[in-house]
Homo-oligomer: A and B are copies of this chain.
Amino acid sequence: MTTISTHPPPAPTTKARLLDIMRTRGTVSRVELVGAAGLTPGTITNVIRELLDDGLVQEAGQARSTGGQPRRLLRLRAQAHYAVGVQMDRCTSSVVLADFTGRLVAQKTLQGSGSHAPGEMLEILASRIHHLLEAEKVPFESVLGISLVTHGPQNRVDGTLLAPRPTLQWYGFPLVSTLSRLTGLPVILENDATAAAMGEQWLGDVSAESFGVIYMASGLGGGAVVNREVYRGGGSNTVELGHITLDVSGPPCECGNRGCVENLCGTAAVVARAVRDLPLRRRLGLKDNPAETLNDFNRISSAAVEGDLAARHLLEDAARGLGQAAVTLVNLFDLSTVVLAGPAFSTAGTLLRDHISATVNAAAFNRELQPISVVLSSHGSLAAAIGGSLQVLRTASDAKERRTAPPSFLTRRTPPQFASLKP
């Protein structure tokens, strides 16, 4: 099985650190690398020589001289490698292709997993990945792998989901090994909110060393970056923000808990409330069917933004609940920045953000020390997929250098079988 163990996270190798710095900063000089990496000029020179020889880095002209020797500049070679990020949600999925610098080369939004059996959905995804690579003329050999990003709970070692969602068939289905067989590429399974956190950390606008993420698609999850590290806890199911109690006397949840955040203020809960308001339902043409949850939510969001009071009240109520979930996140992890990510924030993000921010800044335990900053993700509804692709770029470059690491991630099990797939 082609999985990467990311726990416990090993310290990054020197090469990986330099690649990270170049991925974040773009074009740099060796002198800047010395400063940023805290390594000796000799080490930098040697490692950069190897990276140039490997074709991962290229010269990028000279910086304007400030009197001394002109500084030769370096940057990642964009075409050195590519990575695929797949965000799979019940209502919608996205496939993104990133080059070695982390730049988004291509993207494709497609149907969600809700109306498919797992094997069928993975065939659709494999086919789309294949066509994306073909359309962009990306050589198959240069693709490092795929991050399959979806909801939890997950068993990341086995590459399976541990919940019967969207349907019972998905429980325990060998997602990672199947997608790997279908594509011929190494696959990692990742949590959507965690992937969004990684994307924000490495290529986002948030500069805080610690921040939380609320990820909202058809489900609701959370993530945290603490002192520049993604919080991984003891396993693979951290920051399950959708399944914490906001109301002890609230409805029972299929997770076993009661009054869960997801059931009180997730997209499906908002849609369910809107559907019960018959004039609103008619006005917005809500479909009220599980595969349409996100579309319905976006219809409500559009209406709210355009001034529909009923729609606006529904979103404000949800935002208050999300704000209280954010208070829990902030109070437990001791954070002062919260990032909102995922497709549910794409239409009424500003409205939701402002109300979440007001709740958090009235209630968070630490607000006396500094106000809590609530911001929308730099990557919009693609945040999780982009984060996943970045994770592949970072993990794979690191694994390649680490001679002792199991090579499975970088070894293809089978030749690609795209030809046998329907487009």
By a beta-carbon cutoff of 8 Å, the part of chain A in contact with chain B is 8, 152-153, 155, 162, 209-210, 222, 226-227, 232-241, 243-249, 255-258, 264, 320-321, 324, 327-329, 331-336, 362-369
A332/B226 contact (C-beta < 8 A), A155-B369, A245-B324, A246-B248 known: no
Shortest Cβ distance from A68 into chain B, in angstroms?
32
B332 and A244 contact, CB distance less than 8 A:
yes
Q: Which residues of B contact A331 (CB under 8 A)?
A: 237, 239-241, 243-244
Q: Is the CB of A334 within 8 A of B238?
A: yes
12 other A-B residue contacts (CB within 8 Å) besides A162-B369, A244-B328: A155-B369, A210-B234, A233-B333, A235-B334, A237-B366, A239-B334, A240-B365, A244-B327, A245-B324, A246-B247, A248-B264, A248-B324
Chain B residues with CB below 8 A from A234, complex form: 209-210, 226-227, 334-336
Residues of B within 8 A of A332 (CB): 222, 238-241, 244, 328-329, 332-333
A367 to chain B, nearest CB (A): 7
Q: Which residue of B lies closest to A209 (CB)?
A: B234
A155 to B370, CA, bound (A): 12
Contact status of A162 and B240, CB under 8 A, knowing A247-B249, A258-B324: no
CA distance A367 to B237 in the complex (A): 11
Q: Looking at A209, A239, A249, A332, which has the most chain B CB atoms within 10 Å of its CB?
A: A332
Task: Give the shortest distance, in Å, between A153 (CB) and chain B (any CB).
Answer: 5
A365-B153 in contact (CB<8A):
yes
> In the bound complex, do residue B334 and residue A365 qualify as a contact, i.e. CB atoms below 8 Å apart?
no
Asked if A237 and B324 make an inter-chain contact with CB atoms under 8 angstroms apart, the answer reads no
Shortest distance from the beta carbon of A53 to any chain B beta carbon, whole Å: 33
Q: Is B368 a contact partner of A162 (Cβ separation < 8 A)?
A: yes
A162 nearest CB neighbor, chain B only: B368
Q: Could you tell me the distance between the alpha carbons of A162 and B366 in the complex, rounded to whole angstroms?
A: 9
Is B8 in contact with A257, judged by CB distance below 8 angstroms?
A: no
Q: Bound complex: CA of A73 vs CA of B104, how far in Å?
A: 61
Closest B residue by C-beta to A325: B245
The oligomer's copy count stands at 2
For the complex of A and B, the 6 pairs showing the least CB-CB separation, nearest first, are: A233-B334, A210-B234, A257-B363, A256-B363, A244-B328, A238-B334
The residue in chain B whose Cβ has the minimal distance to the Cβ of A362 is B256
Q: A238-B333, A369-B155 are in contact. Are A364 and B256 (CB under 8 A)?
A: yes
CB-CB under 8 A for A365 and B328, given A8-B227, A226-B233, A233-B226: no
User: How many angstroms between the C-alpha atoms of A369 and B222 in the bound complex?
Assistant: 20
Task: Kindly state the separation between the CA atoms of A209 and B155 in the bound complex, as whole angstroms.
Answer: 19
Please state if A363 and B222 are interface contacts (CB–CB under 8 Å): no
Asked if A245 and B369 sit within 8 Å, CB to CB, the answer is: no
25 A-B pairs (CB sep. < 8 Å)? A152-B365, A153-B365, A153-B369, A210-B233, A222-B332, A233-B333, A234-B334, A234-B336, A235-B369, A237-B331, A238-B332, A238-B334, A240-B331, A241-B332, A244-B327, A244-B332, A245-B328, A247-B248, A256-B362, A256-B367, A257-B324, A257-B364, A328-B332, A332-B332, A332-B333
Give Cα A78–Cα B256 distance, bound, in whole angstroms.
49
C-alpha gap A249/B321 in the complex (Å): 11
Bound-state Cα–Cα, A239 to B233, Å: 14
A336 to B236, CA, bound (A): 12
**Which residues of B sit under 8 angstroms from A333, Cβ to Cβ?**
233, 238, 332
Are B245 and A327 touching (Cβ within 8 A)? yes
Contacts of A321 in B (CB 8 A): 248
Residues of B within 8 A of A241 (CB): 331-332
Contacts of A362 in B (CB 8 A): 256
A283 to chain B, nearest CB (A): 28
The chain B residue sitting closest to A256, CB to CB, is B363
